[in-house]
Amino acid sequence: QNPQGKTHAWFVGFAPAENPRVVVAVVVEQKGAGGIVAAPIAREILRAALINR
């Protein structure tokens, strides 16, 4: 929680699930829920990392 405003959006993930090679952590300050705000950013980072491997 953030006493000065909205909560910070957090998401941590890895891919691929069967044999993880990439880990990502995303924090977006004062933007609300992690699943709504940070997860889509993490998805794009993971997608780009896996395509460029």
In tens digits, what is the pLDDT along the chain, a chain of 53 residues? 667 778 899 999 999 999 999 999 999 998 888 888 999 999 999 999 999 87
pLDDT value, residue 1: 60
Tell me how far apart the alpha carbons of residues 17 and 40 are, in angstroms, rounded to a whole number: 17
Tell me how far apart the alpha carbons of residues 7 and 10 are, in angstroms, rounded to a whole number: 9
Q: Which amino acid is at 31?
A: K
**C-beta atoms surrounding 31 within 10 Å:** 15
Does the predicted TM-score (pTM) go above 0.85?
A: no
Tell me how far apart the alpha carbons of residues 22 and 9 are, in angstroms, rounded to a whole number: 20
pLDDT value, residue 2: 65
Rg (CA), the chain: 13
pLDDT value, residue 42: 96
